[in-house]
Amino acid sequence: MVNKKIKIILTVLIWTFSILATLLVNLYPVNAAVDIDYVFKINQNADIKVACFDVDNTLCTNSTDCYITVNNPSGNNIVKGETMAFNDDYYSYNIPGYKLNIEGEYSTVVNCEGTFNGYTAFLFEITSSGKRQENSAVVIFGIVILAFLFLAVGMASDNILFKIVSAIIFVIDGLVLITTGVGGIDTVFTIGIGIILAVIGGFIAIVSWKGD
């Protein structure tokens, strides 16, 4: 009877995590799926350069003024309608590093006014390394699926080795989510998922050890 209750609890935990994991994959933007125009390092200045063309595809002259607006990943406005510097081939604006203190995607709009008016919108990304992050979400949840397989085999055959291996995988994957998040970006949601994973792993280890 006790073993049956334990299996029911494990099943509930697994389904709970599966639902949360599905929400994470679908609601949390994965970097590789988004077209990022620039990548900069956190807390360092970011030099944004944008080309400006008239309707006849010639470069804009200094009679055209361009303004930049930037929102951080939290949705807060960090640059609002600031004038960009004119160069022969592009307009530029240097964002101070202290404004780039959150890892993630920054939405940017550049509006130009002159003989002809126009605008462009794009994203740039801030990471801890200053390099484009890989799609670690696929790797993380692929490992979780592997943990599920080890757990399923362990429960079906009542093999403690498979159960302990699955527990270790859950805990390690949880710690990775807690410390680095998804694609190098951590949020309260990814940290919460990581904690749930680690707790599930710990629970599986304790139950498996006591069961034997």
Q: The domain spanning residue 112 has which CATH number?
A: 2.60.40.1930
Enumerate residues 6+ apart whose C-beta is below 8 A from 19.
none
Q: Which of 77, 104, 127 is the last residue of a domain?
A: 127
Average pLDDT over residues 131-144: 67
Q: Is the pLDDT of residue 160 over 90?
A: no
- Tell me the pLDDT tens digit for each residue of 161-196: 888 888 888 888 888 777 766 655 556 777 788 888
C-alpha span between 36 and 135 (Å, rounded): 13
C-alpha span between 134 and 111 (Å, rounded): 31
Domain limits for position 117: 38-127
25, 91: one domain: no
153, 96: one domain: no
Q: What is the pLDDT of residue 26?
A: 45
Whole-number average pLDDT of the chain: 78
Total domains present in the chain = 2
63, 96: one domain: yes
- Of the listed ranges 21-35, 45-59, 70-84, 130-144, the one predicted with least confidence: 21-35
Binning pLDDT at 50, 70 and 90, where does residue 67 land? Answer: very high
C-alpha span between 9 and 99 (Å, rounded): 46
Average pLDDT over residues 31-44: 68
Q: What is the pLDDT of residue 30?
A: 40
Average pLDDT over residues 111-139: 78
170, 96: one domain: no
Q: What is the pLDDT of residue 145?
A: 80
Q: Are 170 and 197 in contact (CB under 8 A)?
A: yes
120, 139: one domain: no
98, 147: one domain: no
Q: Is the pLDDT of residue 95 over 50?
A: yes
